[in-house]
Amino acid sequence: MLAIHAHQPGKPVIRLISFLFLLLLFGTTLRAGNPPGGEDDILRPVPFRLHVGPYAGVGWIASNGTFETVCQCAYEGGGNGLGFQFGGFVDYPLSGDVSLMATLGLRSIRASHDKNQTRVEFLRFPPEDGEFYNVDFALESIVQMTLVELGIYGKWDLAVRGLYVAAGGEISVVIDDSIEETERIITPGITYVDGSGREQTSMDDPLSRFYDDTGYRLAAAAKLGYIIPLTPAVSIAPEVSLSFPLTPIVSEFQDWRMTVFQAQVYLRFAL
């Protein structure tokens, strides 16, 4: 006969097993938030999950205020244009419905300003010696900037599943900028000396070369988005946002500011 003896585990082994069980139970409690009955929430399959991924968007730029170009052409009022943005984000959970969201990426801002202007010019019409005439001009100034932007936002999940709002601040540093000025004569029968219909001037880095450059842009932002799950670990989130400027483009013109109305999409990966 082969006798099999069963040994009771010693106290140290029992304590170790109990400790590991309590540790696992404590860890599960920290992750928390599983819906009652063990049901999975498809929008948050694993509660308190970190999300990362890329984002991209396009925005409508509303430029307001008064500024003067290097040719001493003053523009007042608004100008409009399109801008783009892309980068990466981190969505760090703080509780079941609140998280801290950070974005880092590139933002382009482009706005076109235009006006008509009448100037007195000396014109020569052979065989006459020439006289002074009022000449009408159409002026356009296109401002283009590329910025590195960091955004920090508080994000709140709303009662409607998948819907959220976020608010926070953005700081951007200008890394490239240009102003392109175009002048056209709109008085019939008059052209430039070379016979062309317009004169155009392009300037690189005018904010630092010709203005009192601030070098950065501060803005307050509000967001509204909706998370659409694709798999338990992957989702997309279309979002609309408003970025309201707190600082001018250049400190020389305090009211020259750009507001951005934007739509973007996040690709969210749960870690």
**Rounded CA gap, 233 and 240, in Å?**
23
Predicted confidence (pLDDT) per residue in 3-25, tens digit = 333 334 445 545 545 554 454 44
Quote the pTM value.
0.72
Phi, then psi, of 104 in degrees rounded to 5:
-140, 125
pLDDT of residue 65: 84
Phi, then psi, of 85 in degrees rounded to 5:
-150, 140
**Rounded CA gap, 179 and 70, in Å?**
10
Q: Which of 139, 148, 145 is nearest to 171 (CA)?
A: 148
Check if CATH label 2.40.160.20 holds for domain 11-270. Answer: yes
Phi, then psi, of 128 in degrees rounded to 5:
-70, 160
Give the mean pLDDT per block of 10 residues along the chain (271 residues): 38 50 44 40 58 96 83 76 94 91 95 86 77 87 92 95 96 91 86 77 81 83 96 95 92 88 96 88
Which residues, 6 or more positions from 52, have their beta carbon under 8 angstroms from its beta carbon? 88, 89, 90, 91, 268, 269, 271
**Rounded CA gap, 44 and 42, in Å?**
5
Residue 83 near residue 107 (C-beta atoms within 8 A): yes
